[in-house]
């Protein structure tokens, strides 16, 4: 089996983003921003887009992006996750930008909006309900009439962003709309580094970006890409916790010896390493499969989400336990990662929901190939 290796450019990209996050998303900076009104630093966001160009790495050059691949974007997502970078990363980079790329630009302003998002001039949220990370038109309750939206969504990640991409029903057809209006009410959530809002539309003006099959395809593409990048982010957070735990085990003394010398601690750290490496493998496979079109996208991202959600939660809880009393305090950052792990696991479908989806896909394939029939015979 061939081993996947990151290119030299991807390694340089990782080092550059890691250094940027160390300077602008330190633990103290994260704590300060999560208590602020905006929840992130607009100046840092603008630098990520305009100066570093990492918000649109997977966007084709013809559409104003860097012309890279989804694996490049996943490298950035992993480093963002390791730093717990506050800001509308999930809504903008994970969902809105991929949806606009899938639409290929249009004559109704979608290309201009994409440019603003890629350059870091604006931020976006994705106000589209999902069922286990998959688009279900039956869940769309917002209606559209004469270019105006009516309805509400109870929870929208990054719902306070500059612009929202909204799925709405105009008669018998679902459309994808863009609006910078609507009533956004901030919610009190477990993870303060990732804002969520209750969104209400009452005859709110909106611009139609796509309708029918084009809108559905764009939404599905966004959910697939968002799930792959979310998996990479989870890997980054889990790796940071593993590093923290190993460092602590090497310095914390018990009975005159580092606790890392005890067999039980060694085994726990080894189990955490296996979880992180497994998660990294499936996360980058999902990004690569979407980039290359080499695997069923629904299967690849569901495997990644099932594995990475479980791994991040398990590593986070083990870290708190391994750190002992300090791991339960507000002063230590472990709880910030634990909260992010729990929140991420609920976005775009739980690990259990994705495992069920994987099982359904595999069993359907097996049935169509006659595997189950042969086994039964």
- Distance in angstroms (rounded) separating the CA atoms of residues 162 and 195: 13
Confidence check: pLDDT of 339 > 80: yes
- Distance in angstroms (rounded) separating the CA atoms of residues 159 and 100: 18
- Whether 367 is covered by a domain: the verdict is yes
In this prediction the pTM is 0.94
The pLDDT tens digits for 133-174 are: 999 999 999 999 999 999 999 999 999 999 999 999 998 899
On whether the CB atoms of residues 77 and 119 are closer than 8 A, the answer is no
- Distance in angstroms (rounded) separating the CA atoms of residues 300 and 224: 9
- Distance in angstroms (rounded) separating the CA atoms of residues 340 and 191: 6
Tokens of 73: 């974007």
Any idea how long the chain is?
377
Q: Domain count for the chain, please give it.
A: 1
- According to DSSP, residue 94 is labeled I
- In the block, tokens 């916790």 appear at 241
- Whether 282 is covered by a domain: the verdict is yes
- Whether 235 is covered by a domain: the verdict is yes
Strand 173-179 and strand 207-211: pairing? antiparallel
Give, in order, the Cα–Cα distances in Å from 197 to each of 77, 188, 224.
23, 9, 23
pLDDT confidence bin for 1, thresholds 50/70/90? very low
- Whether 271 is covered by a domain: the verdict is yes
The pLDDT tens digits for 203-229 are: 999 999 999 999 999 999 999 999 999
Domain with 250, as residue range(s), is 216-372
Classify 81 as helix, strand or coil: helix
- Whether 229 is covered by a domain: the verdict is yes
- Whether 142 is covered by a domain: the verdict is no
Q: Residues 297-322: what's their mean pLDDT?
A: 96
The CATH number of the domain holding residue 281 is 1.20.140.10
The whole-chain average pLDDT of the chain stands at: 92
């Amino acid at each position: 089996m061939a081993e996947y290796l990151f290119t030299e450019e991807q390694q340089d990209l990782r080092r550059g983003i890691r250094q940027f996050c160390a300077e602008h998303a330190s633990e103290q900076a994260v704590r300060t921003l999560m208590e602020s009104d905006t929840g992130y630093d607009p100046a840092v966001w603008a630098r990520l887009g305009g100066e570093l160009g990492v918000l649109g790495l997977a966007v084709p050059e013809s559409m104003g992006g860097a012309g890279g691949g989804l694996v490049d974007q996943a490298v950035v997502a992993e480093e963002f996750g390791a730093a717990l970078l506050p800001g509308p990363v999930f809504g903008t980079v994970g969902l809105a930008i991929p949806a606009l790329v899938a639409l290929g630009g249009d004559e109704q302003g979608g290309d201009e909006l994409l440019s603003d998002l890629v350059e870091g001039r604006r931020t976006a949220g994705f106000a589209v309900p999902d069922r286990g990370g998959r688009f279900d038109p039956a869940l769309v309750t917002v209606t559209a009439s004469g270019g105006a939206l009516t309805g509400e969504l109870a929870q929208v990640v990054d719902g306070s962003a500059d612009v929202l991409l909204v799925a709405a029903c105009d008669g018998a057809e679902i459309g994808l709309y863009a609006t910078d209006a609507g009533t956004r009410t901030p919610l009190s959530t477990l993870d303060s580094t990732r804002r969520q809002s209750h969104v209400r539309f009452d005859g709110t003006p909106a611009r139609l970006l796509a309708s029918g099959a084009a809108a559905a395809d764009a939404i599905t593409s966004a959910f697939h890409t968002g799930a792959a990048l979310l998996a990479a982010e989870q890997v980054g957070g889990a790796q940071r916790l593993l590093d923290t735990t190993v460092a602590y085990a090497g310095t914390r003394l018990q009975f005159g010896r580092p606790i890392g010398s005890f067999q039980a601690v060694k085994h726990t750290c080894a189990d955490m390493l296996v979880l992180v490496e497994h998660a990294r493998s499936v996360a980058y496979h999902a990004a690569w499969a979407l980039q290359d079109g080499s695997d069923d996208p629904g299967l690849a991202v569901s495997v990644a989400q099932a594995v990475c959600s479980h791994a991040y939660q398990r590593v986070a809880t083990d870290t708190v336990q391994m750190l002992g009393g300090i791991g339960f305090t507000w002063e230590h950052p472990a709880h910030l990662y634990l909260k992010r792990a729990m929140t991420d696991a609920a976005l775009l479908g739980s690990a259990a929901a994705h495992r069920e989806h994987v099982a359904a896909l595999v069993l359907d394939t097996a049935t169509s190939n006659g595997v189950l029939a042969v086994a039964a015979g």
